[in-house]
Every structure is written in structure tokens, then in C-alpha cells.
Structure 1
Amino acid sequence: MDANRLRFYMLADAPDWVTESSVSAGEVCLYDAKRRTLRLGSLGESRTFDEALDLAVLEPRLARVPGAVDAFGTWAWWDDVAGQVRAAGGGAGTTLRFEPAQVGLSGAVTDLSPGAGGILYVAVAQRVVALHLRKVWSAVVFPAEGLAAHRIAADPRGGAYVLSGPPSFAPNAPPAVLGRMDGQPLLDVLSIPSGAGLFRPMEENPDPPRTRVLETLAWPGEVPVALACDTEGRLAVLSWVMDPALAGVPPDAAHARLRFYSGRFSTPVALPGVLRPFSLAILPDGRAAVLSLLDDGKVEAVAYALPAGASEAIPQGDYFPLPGHDGGPFLQGAKPPHHAVNPGLADMAPVPLQALSLPRCAERGSAANPPNRPFDSGDGRTVWHRLYVEALLPPRTGVRVWLAATDEPLAPPSDSPHWHEHRLGLIPEAPVHPDVPHGSWVPLPSEVPFQPGMLPAPPAPGESGLFTVLIQRAHAKVRALSGRYLWVRVELFGDGRRTPEVGALRAYASRFSYVDNYLPSLYREELFGEDADTTGRATPADFLERFLGIVEGVLTPIEDRIAHAHVLTDPGHVPGDSLEWLASWVGLSFDPVVGESQRRAMLRSAPALARRRGCVEGLRLALDLVTDGAVNRGAVVVVEDFRLRRTLATILGADLADTEDPLLPGLARSGNSYVGDTLFLGDEARKEFLAVFGDETLQSRAEAEAVEQLLERLAHRLTVLVHQGTDTRTLGLIRKVAEQEAPAHVQVSVITASRPLLVGVASLVGVDTYVGPAPAPTSVRVGHSVLGLADVIERPSSLDPRLEGG
């Protein structure tokens, strides 16, 4: 609400916009979730690549066996002449990876797909074989379960999807079947004892290899031809429309289709421009890429954006060069997708699919607020006042905003004269009326006081930032726009290389009139009803109203900033260069290395810091603020040294024989504790263990002096344990804060902790003891690693077995 008590209504996030795109008309508008703006989409050429090609040319492409490539740059493929899966990349020449006879199968391989955990799935003789690339277990043939395996798409989360085949284009051919493979055999190194009297579990392997039939793909008029998984494990199935009448589409719209499977299939998404693509891959950014034949026999890669809920994908303007492409499908296993090159996989490494940076945007696109969510003022007498748009308008781009007001929650038709035009930037089309209002750039990031704005770019005069325009009807004698509901349509215009972007759109209501509030009644409007709606020159009173709106548009933001000046005392809104000034109000100072977000957090917690200053809780709070919550996460633990006394010689999780561990000074001298008929802690000759008992246990002066000396050595000392993975800058900041926040009489030590859990140093799990993150497995280092703790001996999972030392 502004200084005149006007409320604003806003469109900003993805649910606020309903985008309208038409590939055939060259109009693409989308919401960019990364930039959080409404913009024009990339648009490829509107042409059909394989219109003149018949099945005799295309079927051999479908029959090609895809190869596989891994992150090491090694690759594998099916050698049809030798009847073997061969590999290369790990040395000169090629090497054998697999042949069907190894598992008792005979026949041709139809697909290779590397999966999670170093597994290679092979489709051979209509069965699926799983090979562990590190030979942890022997090759296994999955149960058939009536599924004639032809194509495989490995799920990055584990397991694989399988499509039956090969595809048949006969009119009465049985439908394809989608299945899934899960599980794996036991490790070969595990020996399973046997014997009549030996108790054994009912099922030796809790995760055995198994096959499930998921769904029969009975899609009228369509034939599934390829499948692929994205990085999240979502399956995409590509199909050809062979009979447009059965598929329910016109013959000129019989494009290939894409469906996504996550428990059930989504509605089909058409791929405009391609009829018979023969290979599918999902790019790392979520777009779909297909390979399709040109009329001259060459292959071209086309990428498609997949808007949520859309029935038609958007062809992108990216160009993907395919140097030396051998005409086959995408290789499986690597992101981005790779393709093979001539003269073949045996001689040359696969080439990744890379787009040339040649932006090509649609020149037009539109969006609107949802039909069930207009701006609702709740009052039919509302006069809609002013429009603010946060937008990026590069040269030769513009935004046209159409507004309509109604008293019923029903938007007028798009061709209705009740829609009124407002312009920002350059619009190539002539205005509907000569007096259409044009927006002006405002030198503020937002009209809302002290808000940073919602654009991903800094303000620039006329091109980036905040634009405003008075809401009006350009053709009427009285140009005020009245009604309870306000409907918004936005049209974006670009030049094919650049796109405008809308970060937020806000409309204010009901109008605060300077004429009605500050001038005598003789200046007020005298034309109402149908007379005010008629087309013609504006009345003098209306002109004066809009003329004073120029002054109001300048004064209201100033009044808003004055009225909301108290916001500058809020740590969350004060400008960054004023944080030191605000901190001086409460006697707080910042170390130069403390970042802006941490400074704001310290300012918000200044009262709590002041109340706890000089105690352990105050130090914990200060460390938590400057490390973005590391104390609460357990990466930093503050321990008073009396918890480290040698009396507690048993510390679970620590190696007491490690004399170099900074957490355990001198513990090796006392030895590990043991529990027997009586509890012993350390050497019986040392009287310090009596510190854990009450005063009544001190039988002699020597015992009392021993306890007193123990406590004296540990008094006024504090240890800050920092997780070993903390970076050097943060560790230095922790040392400075510990020195500044600790009382003068307390000695503080900051050391790195190497163990995730120490019971005995701090004893309340979840309160002052934390289970740290499990260390990631790393390769064994000679003279440093201890087997069984964190480091492991592991061979790489490579398609070329020569990289495994095998």
C-alpha cells in the first residue's frame, strides 16, 4: 500500500502467467524459471526435415545399434562381424568387452546402455544382460517375463527401462511393451556356506535381478521407436505417427511425438518439423534432442524446449554441427550426448553434441493472467490507477500491455474493443488509437520503498529497470478505466536476436485523484455513463486529471520513501553501505572479512548477542552467525575444556592410540578404560578420576588437592572444534571471532576435528554432540590411509577394461 493508501496487484511468478505459443505462427513466449522473467523463446526453422523420405530409407537408421560412452572418454560398440561388444579409448587398438556366448546366448546385440554403479546393460537375443564393469559380480541374464528386449535406457538412479521390439510398421502389428529391470546378483567374493543343519535366510539375495512389465504401449496410429532417461530418471519415449486418422491429428500435423513416464505416461507432446526422427537424447538442461534425416540424406540434430503442460514442443534455434557423423544414433551414457564419427568407433573417439552460440528468438509472443485469477479489487467502482512494469527492453524490443476491466469475473474476448493498449519500448505495429499511452523509465529499482526490484540485471536508462504508465482508455472522452476485475494480456516483441523480459507487473487501485482531493469542484468531471464511454477527444477535466497524474507519479514514490523511512533501521533492508552506520547504534562492529549476509544476521541478533556476551552461549551464537549456521549444523562445536579431562579416558569414536590427535592430548598415557566389577577410569595410581564423584568420596587431603589441581588446569579454557573440511578463510574468521567474543580471562583454542562423533568430549547427541557428514570415499594414499575408515581401493568403472587393470 502506498502513501495514498492504494493497494497494488502483481504478476511475477510462473503460476501468474499463462503463456501462449504458436510454432506455426512463429510466436513463442515462456517463463524463464532461472531468471524469473517472462521472455520470448528460442525458435528453430519451421520446416519438415524428412517429409520426402520413405520407410525403406529410415528403417536401416532405426536398426543401427547405439554405442556407449563413459565419463573417462572410453567407448564400446557392437561389432557385428566379430559378434562381440568391443571397447576402445584405454589404449591403442580395441579390446573385447563382451560376447553373447559368455552367458549362453546367441544372437545380435541391439543396444548398449551404461547405468549407475558401474553396470553396462546389453540387449542381446531379446534378453537383457548386465555386466559389472569392475567385475564385482559375474554377468547376469535378467528374466524374460515375456518381454522381447530391444532398446534400453539406463536409469541414473539404478536399474533400466526396456522397450520391446524391433518396431513394426505393419497395420495389425502387436503393440510395443515397456518394462523395467532392477536388482543385481550377490558379489562373487561372498562365499555362501551350505549344510543340512545350517540356518540360512529364505532369500540369499534381498535384491535379485528381476523384470517387470510396466505398460503396453497401445497408442492408436503410433509406433514407439526410441527412449531415453533424463538426469532425474524420468523416461521419455519417442514415437512416430504412422496413421494420422487413428492418432487423431490432421495429416499435415503428423509430427513425431514425445511422452514422459513417471509411474504413468503424460499426454503426448508433438515435435513440430520432424516426422521420423531415429534417435533421442535428453540434454543436461532438460531439452530434448533428436536426430533426423534431411531430404539429401544428411543428418541434422534438432533441440526442443518442453514447456510444462504444453501439447507442442518448441523447436530451438540452436545449431548443432555434426562433424564426421557416421549416420548412426546418439551414443548412450554421457551428458551431453555424443555421436560416432567416420570411419567408425574403432578408430576415432566419439564427439560430444555442442551447440553454436547463434541465438535465434521468436519475434513475438504473448501471455496473460490465468482466466480464474484476475485482479479483484472487490469494488465495482474501482478506478484502476497506474501500471508499473519491471522489464528489460534491449534496443528494438518492446512490450505491449492490454488491460480490460469488468464487473463480472469473465474476461472479454481477445478481439473485444474493451481491451486497452499501453506501450513500453519499440512496438513494430502501429497503435490502434493515436493517443495510446507510452510508459516512461523511472530511476528506481522498484516503486515499493527500499526494495531491490525483481530483475536479474541492474537498472539502465530506457533499457532496464522500472517503467510506469497511467492506466487509461486511449479512445474515450473520459479515459479512466473502471471495474471490479482487471484482466491483463502482455505481448512481447523482439528482433529475432534479442528478447524483452518482464520480471514483474503491478497495477494500483483505486485512483487517488489530485483533482478530487485538492481542487475545487468546478474542475471535476461532469461526463458519466455512456457519454463518458463514447469515442472522442478527452474532456478538459479528464486532461487535467491525467496531467496532474504526471506530478503524482513523481511525488508518490518520494512520499512513500519518507513514510517508510523506518525500514532503513531494519537489518534486512538497510543498504549494504549503511550496515556499519546502523551497527554503530548498538555498539556493534564488523571484521572486514565478514560478508554482507552475515553482517545482517549479526545485526538482527544484536540484542541476543549483547545479553549473552561473555559466556559460552554468546560465543556459540556469534560463531553460528558468521558461519551461516555451522554451529547448528555441527560443523563447529564449542566445548569447555573440563569435558576434555583425562579422567574420561574412553571417548567413543576416537582412536586412543593416536598420540598426534589434538583432541586427545595425553590420553594414551592413561590407557583405555574398562568396566568390570568396579568402574576403573585410567591408572588406579592417579587420583584424578575422583573428580567424577561427590565431595564425600574425598577421604584425604591429597585426594582433595588432586581434584583441585585437575580443575585448576582445566578452568577458564575453551576449545572450538571445527570440522576438518572447513575452508581456510572460514577457519581464519572463526579464530578471529573466538578471540573477540571470548571473555578476557578465558583461553580459547581453535582446532580441527577429524572424527564425526566423540562421546565423552560432549555427551548429549543432538544438543552438544553432532554426527557429522559421512566422509566421501577417496582413493587410498600409501603411508596415510587406514583401510576400513574412509579411504578405499577402487578401480575406475570404464567401458575399456584396460583402464581397470584387468
Structure 2
Amino acid sequence: MDANGLRFWQIADPGGFGIGADAKDLHWRPESGLLRLDRQQKAPSLAEDKIFARARASAPSPVSDPGGSFAWLDETGTLRTAGFGPGPVPLAIPPDSPPGVPTPTDLAFGDDDVLYVARNDGVLMVDRRERWVPARVDLKNFHAHRLAPAPGGGAWVLDRSTGELALLKGMPLRTGGIRPDIGEVFRPVEPNPRPPAMRRIRAARLPANVEPIAIAGSKSGRVAVLGWIEDEDAVLFTLEGRELVRRFALEGLRYPYGLAWEGEDRVAVLASDGGQPARQAFVYELDVPPSADASARPTGEIHRLIDPWAANFCNRLTEVPEYLVTGEGATAPQGRRMLRALSRATYARSGSVTIGPFDAGKADNVWHRLYVEASVPEHAGIRIWMHADDRGGRPPAPGEDDAPPWSLHIVGDAAHEDYPQAARASWCAERSELPFHPGLSPCPSALDRSGLFTALVQRPDSRVRRLSGRWLWLHVELTGDSQVSPELAAIRVHGDRFSWRDRYLPSFLHETLSGVDGEMEGAATRHDFLDRFLGLFEGPLTQIENKVAGSWLLTDPAATPDPALPWLGSWIGIEAGRGEAAEGLRERLRAAPWTARLHGTPGGLMAALELATGGKLVVGGGIDLEREVPRPGQLALAEFDDHIVRSLVLGMSDPRGGRPPAILVGGSVTRGEIVVIEGWRLRRTFATILGADLADENDPLTLGLSVSGNSYVGDTLILGDQARREVMALFSADLPQSAADRAAVADFFERLAHRVLVLVRETPRTADRARLRQIAEAAAPAHVEITLATARQPLIVAVASLVGVDSFLLPEPPPRTARIGRTALGAGDRVAGSGRLDARADGPVSPPPVAVADGPAEVLAGRDFLLSAARSEAARGRSVDRHIWTRL
């Protein structure tokens, strides 16, 4: 509600714009929160060769790995690999037992470095790291024909004869030394806890009239299946839950043979053109719900294929599909390329959606003003048709039969050309009419092109141009020239009208026409013109009044603009750190009412470190009355959407002031990457070394006088039975001690009580050690000494743990490959091969060079631009002699 008491209705999300339901040729960009025309090509028109396509669809897919090598099945049925060293080399596959057809039906390479081979109705697993011997997996009454790698290891398996889908998971038992079983140790019947097994997904079956052709898997676990239907366009299915659901038909393509995921919401397909691969791959968006009769055209980005090898995409998990390439006269693949789109895309020329109704709550409501946050480039525009009545039924869209009168409001020059009498929105210098709001559009403001646009709601060509009615419908139409698209962030409509004419001027200037007389076509009356003319001044002056009325927002850290944050912080002595992001300062200001009470305490220190490493303030919620109520400054568990997370409590509910609970989450303290240990809590550890008697039954670190025969102190000292006797012989409290010795021990523990250890684990959030040290020293009292130490291993209770319990709160980092000069023996790194398809990757052949092409992300048509390969690197001991640029 604004300063004049007017309400407004807003549309700013995909549901409000009807994406997936009513919208036609429109696309919602979730990363930027913008609505634009759908990127769309014409339906493909190819001379498809069914025989060629079937041969490609029946041949095994080529495979590649992250290291740069690739493998394919040549015309002799031999699996060959290349990528390291000159020319290809054979890659041996063990024969089946009993022997069968040696030629595979498909190949896939998983992110577990396992080559999956579909052959003789089963799947052979070949580990390229040789951790175990090759193993074969079969499923009764299931024929494994096509494969797609699954995330985390395993593969999706498609039976082309029945259209059924199965999932292969598990690993063979690692190869180990021979240990004879002499019957003295109980052993499980199956020593492998996760043996490889293939399980049929019962509900995942294609219809009987669909011929399965190809299958593809994404990095998040999504599955797509491509099928042919006799004399119809090909159809794409996706696995939704445990069912294969029809998404859409590929308009204009009947015999595509290749399939791959591009990201998580697009798929790419390959098709033939005259007995060879088409010159481009066709990419389809999956941004609409599944449909039993929908068809789709390729997205407007052109994905050129440069010298493609006649085969499917490389069958592995990747964000960008890869394909093998060949050269002139070559009989084998010469390399691989990523599927990239040309910089220019084609858009639909128009897209539309009908939105509503908005309910004003009273009859004959006069709708007042329209605000639009959008970007409207040259040759593009937005048309917003409005219809209001007191009945509320959905009206036919403009141009349809029996359509009621629609009032047109236009944003942009291009949309105005065909409707010169329509109301045209004006550009505003403010980002939003809402006071101190930064706006919803991420596009920078540009005069008449991008930002906030406004228009008085009105009906063209009628004598009285007010638009009245309880229910308001909008028909939004985006237009372009196929090369550009408008981008729409939000639409807001204000009402009931605040009329300066009717509020402040004498009655003889008020409108005299009403009803049918006012709706007649013709020039506007003098009174109506005066009303709309005064509206030109009312709009900007109302924005100023809104700022005055909402000036209190400048004192709210959650609402004040970014430039005002340092000014607001100066009120309470909080300064912006050098290079600190506005969002971090905002969170510190929001948390200030609670952190001020904790200043000088361990909880205040942890809160400062939490906020400095990305922590967020969460206010509200309830307390679990069945558990002990945590105190401010303590770590506690909190529940969010059925997930349990660790949090730092800032304050509990205050019945006197009504203040709700407040916690911090998401920073390095609650993630376990930073641990703050007060020095007095380490007395048990040092007492063990010094032989002092410091019994503390309530010590949360050591749990009192627990006895362990194998305790860890620090990183290396072990106090087992024998070691304990040796240490106690030197430091036992029973040995004669002088007064100076006892005084030295007492002084040591006295100083220990005023020390705090901040243990930091190496992560991107904690990379700036100097800044963390400054924050910790500023948050601690003057008499407390801060020590900041770095830990490479997961943080352990009491620095390295007295009992060997790992307290790291995030998933344990995976082991890395052992590296000379960096890996410590026993520190978790493993000595292992590269796991590449081309065995020459393990040496002594040098790895391929790393090509890096730098240049602008977007270039205006007709402008010069610079491309640079200066950041490209050659293998060790080699140099880059020349750069080869390929023009798409």
C-alpha cells in the first residue's frame, strides 16, 4: 500500500506468468528471474536416411574420460583408444564366459573410472584402475542393449526389445592377498557388502508402439530415452519417479539416433541428412511439464557440428556433450570436441499468456497505474492488454472470436508501431516505485530501454478512458524480430484510482459522462483529459511521498539500500571491512542486537567468525521443550524443512519484549570448519603430559576421569600402557618437585585460562587467514590471547582427539591421488593409476596441452573483438609453438 492508501497486485514468478500451463512461446530464466521469448528454431527439414540412422543407433557409443582420452569400436569390431601418444592403440576387453558374440552393443564410461560394456544381454564391468578383476552382471529375462552412466558409479540399462529400464549398482570386491581360512574367524557368506547387481524398474517401460533408440543420463541422475514411432515424429521420454513419461515429440525429426544431456534441463540429439550426420545438433528445452500430445522445436541456439565422426555422443557424465571428430580422408577419429552453441540465437517472434483475474474486492473499481520492470531492446516490445468487469469470467484473448474490448498498454518502440493510439509506458529513473527497493530486474537501467516503466491505466478511443471493474485480466504479449527478445521481470497494477481532479478540484470539473455514454468511441472529454493530465504529475510526486513515508526503512538493515549500509553501521560502531561485500555487512547489522550482548564472550567470538564466513541470521521458530534450552553463544541443532543443521544460538525468545529466537547458520563455525577452543578446556590434555592432577568430572572435552589405554595427545604422542610408564617416569606428579616447579605448572595453567585457540580448516571460505585473525582479535577481550592455527585434516575434538573420534561435520573429502612432495604417508592420499581409457596416460607420454581461449562473452554485430590464447599451457618440458583457431 502506497502513501495514498492504494493497494497493488504483482506478477514476478513463473507461476504467475503461467509458465508450464498457459504461456505460449515464452521462457522463464530462473537464474535471473526474467521472462523472455522462447529461443526457438524452425522445425528441422532434413533428408533423413533411416538405414544410416538405424546403423548408427545400433552401433556402440564412443566413450571419453575427463583426462582427454577416448575410445570407439572400429569397422573390424576392435575397441581402440587414443588421446595420449600418436595414433590409436587397442583396448582389450575380456571375453565372456561362456563365450558369446564378441561385439558389444554399447559402451559407457562412469565417473567411477569403470568401462561398462553391454554384450550378450549382460553388462561387463572393466575397472580402468584395476582395483578388481572384470565382472559380468546379468538380469533374468532382461536384455542389456543400451547404456548410460549413472552418477556415483553404475549405469542405466535399456532393453530395446521390450522397452524396459534397469539400474546397475555396486562394485566387485577389491582384489586382495590370499588369506587361507583356517576356521578361527567368522566370515560373512557374501564378503562384498555391495556386490554389483542389476534391478529392473518395474514401472519404467516404453509404450508398445515406440521403438527404443538411445538413452542418456545426466550428472544429477536424470534419465532420457529417445524412441521412434512408425510414420511419426520421434518422441522423447524422461524418467519421472519410477515411470518413463512422454515429454514431447521432436517436430520435424523422425529418425534421430544420438542423445545426450546438456546440463540438467536440456537434451541434445543427432540426426542424419542424406546418409551422413546433419551439420548441427538439435537441443531441446525441458522447461515444460510432460504432455501426451505436445511437440517441441529446437532451442534457438545453433549447435554446429565440426567434422563429426558418424556415431553417437561420447557416453559419459558431463555438463556439455562431447562428440568425436575426423579429418579429411581419415578413417578413424582424430579427437573430440565439446558441443558449443553459436553466439547468436533465434527467438520466437511473439509469445503471449493470459493472466488473472486480480480481485479488487469491490464493483466498479477504477484501476489506476501500471508499472513494468523490463528490458526492451531495439526491435522488441511488450504489449499488455487489460480487461476489467464485474463478472470475473475468463474472457477470450484479443483477436479471438467474441473477445471483449481490451485496453492496450505498450512498453518499447517496436510494440508501438502498429498501435499509435495505445497508451505508451514512460521510462522512470527509479529502479522501483516502492520506496528504497532495488527492483526485481537484474538488468542495468538505460534510458527508454531498461528499468522501470509506468503508464496510467486507460482505455484508448473511448470518451471516458477510465478502466473500471472488480476483476482485472491481463494478456501479456512479448514481440521481437527473431534476433532479440524483451525481458520482463515484474508487472504491478495499482488501484483504486487516486484522482487529483476528483480529490482537490471543484465538482464542475468532474466527469459528467458515465455508463454506455462514457464507453462510446470518440475523442476524450475535456474532464477526462484533465484527469489524465494531472496523473502525469501524480506519479512521480507519489513516489516522493512514498519515500518520505518509508524513510524508516533506511534504519532497517534488512531493507536499507546497499550504499546506506556503512552509514547505518556508523550509528552503532560497525564499520565495513576492506573489500567486504554488502551482503556480509548487512548480515552483521541484522545480527547486531544479539551479538552486542555476546561481545567479549566465546559466543561473541564464534558469532563474529560465523558472520565473516558466510553465516546467515535466522529469526523465528520454536524451542523443543523436551530438550535442554540452549544458552546464547552455544552451538545447537536446528530443524529446517525436515533437515537437521548445526546452528549458533544468538538469543532465545523474550516474553517481555516479544523478541523471537535468533540463530546463525551456514558459516564456517556451524559447518565445523572453524573450532574455537578455550585454553582452560585443554587442561586435561596438558595434565596428562605434565602429570598434574586436574580431575573435572563435568569437563565437556574429556568427559571426566575416563581411562583409555590408547589415548591420543596432539598429533603424534600416544599414551598407551608402555608409553604411559615412560612419560610418567619423567613427568609423574609423584616425583619430587621443587616449589619452583610447582609454581611454574600453576603459572602455566593460569596463563592457559586466558588463551583461546581458533582452529581453522583449509576451505575457500576460510582462505583469508589474516582477515580471520583480525576479526578474532577484535572480538576477544584485551586480556585474552588469540592463537589461530591451520589444520589440513578434518577437525578433531581437542585438536587431535583423546579418543580418536572424527568430529568433522561435513561429508568427508574424498582421497586424492598421491603427489610427490605433497602427500604424507598415511594421510589419506592413494597411489593409483589415472583410470584413463588410453593406458598411455600413466606415462611416459606427456599429457596434451591445455587450450584456453579468452574473449568477450557477447559482441555487438559489426564490432571488432579480440581473442587471446595467452593463458594456454603446454605439457611440462614443452612449449606452445602455434595456436589453431577454428571458425564455426
Q: Does the aligned pair in 2 maintain the 1:306–1:313 contact within 8 Å?
A: no
Q: Is it true that 1:307 corresponds to 2:254 in the alignment?
A: no
Aligned equivalents of 1:181, 1:440: Cα separation in 2: 60
Aligned equivalents of 2:381, 2:299: Cα separation in 1: 22
Unaligned runs of 5+ in 2: 615-666, 691-700, 703-711, 845-888
- 642-651 vs 551-560, which moves further: 642-651
Cα distance, 1:689–1:390 mapped onto 2, change above 3 Å: farther
Cα distance, 1:490–1:297 mapped onto 2, change above 3 Å: same
Aligned equivalents of 2:584, 2:726: Cα separation in 1: 44
Candidates 194, 199, 212, aligned match of 1:224 = 212
Q: Is it true that 1:539 corresponds to 2:536 in the alignment?
A: no
Aligned equivalents of 2:143, 2:385: Cα separation in 1: 56
TM superposition shift of 1:642: 2.4
Report the secondary structure of 2:545's partner residue: helix
Aligned equivalents of 2:580, 2:19: Cα separation in 1: 43
- 476-485 vs 443-452, which moves further: 476-485
> Partner of 1:31 in structure 2?
28
List per-residue Cα deviations over 1:144-193 (Å, max 9, x = no partner): 4122222111212332222224xxxxxxxx74333332223211226575
> Partner of 1:404 in structure 2?
387
Aligned equivalents of 1:592, 1:552: Cα separation in 2: 43
> Partner of 1:722 in structure 2?
760
- 570-579 vs 121-130, which moves further: 570-579
List per-residue Cα deviations over 1:419-455 (Å, max 9, x = no partner): 22111102357656x5310000000001111011111
Q: Does the aligned pair in 1 maintain the 2:416–2:424 contact within 8 Å?
A: no
Candidates 301, 312, 318, aligned match of 1:318 = 301
Aligned equivalents of 2:524, 2:37: Cα separation in 1: 36
Cα distance, 1:35–1:345 mapped onto 2, change above 3 Å: farther
Cα distance, 1:762–1:471 mapped onto 2, change above 3 Å: farther
Cα distance, 1:430–1:149 mapped onto 2, change above 3 Å: same
Q: Is it true that 1:421 corresponds to 2:408 in the alignment?
A: yes
List per-residue Cα deviations over 1:524-553 (Å, max 9, x = no partner): 223223333333332332222212111111
Aligned equivalents of 2:13, 2:176: Cα separation in 1: 55
Q: Does the aligned pair in 1 maintain the 2:65–2:837 contact within 8 Å?
A: yes
Aligned equivalents of 1:295, 1:79: Cα separation in 2: 22
What letter corresponds to residue 468 of structure 1 in structure 2? T
> Partner of 2:250 in structure 1?
271
Cα distance, 1:754–1:784 mapped onto 2, change above 3 Å: same
Cα distance, 1:530–1:110 mapped onto 2, change above 3 Å: same
Report the secondary structure of 2:312's partner residue: strand
What letter corresponds to residue 248 of structure 2 in structure 1? V
> Partner of 1:694 in structure 2?
none
- 780-789 vs 551-560, which moves further: 780-789
> Partner of 1:693 in structure 2?
none
TM superposition shift of 1:680: 9.3
List per-residue Cα deviations over 1:713-756 (Å, max 9, x = no partner): 32433322222336786211112223333333332222223443
Report the secondary structure of 1:331's partner residue: coil
Q: Does the aligned pair in 2 maintain the 1:643–1:762 contact within 8 Å?
A: no
Alignment of 1:184-333 (within 5 A): 184-189=171-176, 191=178, 193-194=180-181, 199-215=186-202, 217=205, 219-243=207-231, 254-262=232-240, 263-284=242-263, 286-295=265-274, 297=276, 299-300=278-279, 301-309=281-289, 311-333=294-316
Cα distance, 1:160–1:494 mapped onto 2, change above 3 Å: same
Q: Is it true that 1:638 corresponds to 2:676 in the alignment?
A: yes
Aligned equivalents of 2:121, 2:480: Cα separation in 1: 52
Q: Is it true that 1:92 corresponds to 2:86 in the alignment?
A: yes
Report the secondary structure of 2:309's partner residue: strand
The structure with higher relative contact order (CA 8 Å, sep 6+) is 1
TM superposition shift of 1:299: 2.0
Alignment of 1:584-623 (within 5 A): 584-623=570-609
Q: Does the aligned pair in 2 maintain the 1:120–1:130 contact within 8 Å?
A: yes
Alignment of 1:420-459 (within 5 A): 420-427=407-414, 431=418, 435-459=421-445
Candidates 708, 728, 732, aligned match of 1:683 = 728
Report the secondary structure of 1:290's partner residue: strand
Alignment of 1:728-767 (within 5 A): 730-760=768-798
Report the secondary structure of 2:91's partner residue: strand
Aligned equivalents of 1:198, 1:777: Cα separation in 2: 30
Report the secondary structure of 2:606's partner residue: helix
TM superposition shift of 1:339: 2.5
Aligned equivalents of 1:699, 1:63: Cα separation in 2: 86
Aligned equivalents of 2:777, 2:21: Cα separation in 1: 61
TM superposition shift of 1:58: 3.6
Normalised TM-score (structure 2): 0.78
Cα distance, 1:616–1:341 mapped onto 2, change above 3 Å: closer
Cα distance, 1:377–1:157 mapped onto 2, change above 3 Å: farther
Aligned equivalents of 1:620, 1:175: Cα separation in 2: 60
Aligned equivalents of 2:734, 2:302: Cα separation in 1: 76
Q: Is it true that 1:647 corresponds to 2:635 in the alignment?
A: no
TM superposition shift of 1:510: 1.3
> Partner of 1:115 in structure 2?
110
Alignment of 1:685-700 (within 5 A): 686=731
Aligned equivalents of 2:477, 2:233: Cα separation in 1: 28
Aligned equivalents of 2:201, 2:730: Cα separation in 1: 72
What letter corresponds to residue 728 of structure 2 in structure 1? D
Report the secondary structure of 2:341's partner residue: coil
Report the secondary structure of 1:323's partner residue: coil
Aligned equivalents of 2:734, 2:3: Cα separation in 1: 71
> Partner of 1:338 in structure 2?
322
Q: Does the aligned pair in 2 maintain the 1:103–1:139 contact within 8 Å?
A: no
Cα distance, 1:65–1:614 mapped onto 2, change above 3 Å: closer
Report the secondary structure of 1:375's partner residue: strand
Candidates 374, 386, 394, aligned match of 1:391 = 374
Q: Does the aligned pair in 2 maintain the 1:674–1:681 contact within 8 Å?
A: no
Report the secondary structure of 2:371's partner residue: strand
Cα distance, 1:66–1:448 mapped onto 2, change above 3 Å: same
What letter corresponds to residue 720 of structure 1 in structure 2? V
Q: Does the aligned pair in 2 maintain the 1:39–1:500 contact within 8 Å?
A: yes
Cα distance, 1:540–1:496 mapped onto 2, change above 3 Å: same
- 199-208 vs 31-40, which moves further: 199-208
Aligned equivalents of 2:781, 2:132: Cα separation in 1: 60
> Partner of 1:364 in structure 2?
350
> Partner of 1:486 in structure 2?
472
What letter corresponds to residue 716 of structure 1 in structure 2? H
> Partner of 1:161 in structure 2?
156
> Paired residues, what number?
754
Aligned equivalents of 1:298, 1:184: Cα separation in 2: 37
Q: Does the aligned pair in 2 maintain the 1:66–1:331 contact within 8 Å?
A: yes
- 721-730 vs 541-550, which moves further: 721-730
Aligned equivalents of 1:304, 1:224: Cα separation in 2: 19
TM superposition shift of 1:388: 0.3
Unaligned runs of 5+ in 1: 166-173, 244-253, 653-660, 691-697
What letter corresponds to residue 18 of structure 1 in structure 2? G
